[in-house]
Amino acid sequence: MTLDRYFITSLPALGDLGSVPPMGFAELWEWLADHRRIRPLAGALLLMDDLRQRESYLAGEIDYLEPTVLSLSQTLGRSPLPAYLEPEADEASSAPRRIAADQLWETYFRYTAQLAEARKSLFLAAWVGHEVALRNAVAAARAERLGLDPAGYLVAPELAQTDDDFGSLLGEWAATTSPLAGQQRLLQAKWAWIGAHDPHFTFDDDELLVYTARLILLKQWQRIAGNE
């Protein structure tokens, strides 16, 4: 469906990766308050950032949180997550994952894929496929490096985009000299992927989702670079 072109063109322009985000997630979320069709789709993207913050906080890596979709209590792990992030009965009863958080990520990706299909969002569907494929490729590379079975570290493999080839990227990622540089290389790859899937000047829902995805990457780059 088509957005009001004045709405999307009124959003502040985004710079290149590494530039300062021109707006915060809370501001974008507020702008979307009256757009009930697109808000859940953008919310699925922003939710991933909330879950990343939650994971980092529970692991003791960060002590400051600014969630957008989840409540602060949910992000702190003090309140239950939304029902749509609860695993299905057969998933909940299956053998425990080697990394406990992987169950939540699997549920998240499946929820987002279902939402993309229901709302007919080509970009969100492709984004899920790419994110899952890249996440699993990195997880498999880490497991192999440690002499572990990669199969135990894959998340929702049925959703992964099978056409993606990460051979060169994984080589560059493995050759980086620090965890920071490695994360930045992965963010650069995600930024390039979004650029290749940008429905520019179509003024449809997916163009707003591309904007949201880019804004998230700008913020993530800013965080890991210690510029907050």
Residue segments in the chain with a per-residue pLDDT below the cut of 70: 1-7, 89-99, 200-203, 227-228
Domains of the chain, by residue range, sit at: 20-157+166-224
pLDDT digit string (tens) for 35-74?
888 999 999 999 999 999 999 999 999 999 999 999 999 9
Residue 34: the pLDDT is: 85
Question: What are the helix (H) ranges across the chain?
Answer: 5-9, 25-31, 39-58, 72-75, 89-92, 101-118, 122-145, 167-175, 179-196, 205-224
Q: Tell me the three-class secondary structure of 177-204, residue by residue.
A: CCHHHHHHHHHHHHHHHHHHCCCCCCCE
The reported pTM is: 0.91
Report the C-alpha gap between 172 and 181 in whole angstroms: 10
Measured in degrees and rounded to the nearest 5, phi and psi for residue 204 equal -105, 180
CA distances from 71 to 51, 66, 68, 79 (A): 11, 9, 7, 9
Span 113-127, pLDDT tens digits: 999 999 999 999 999
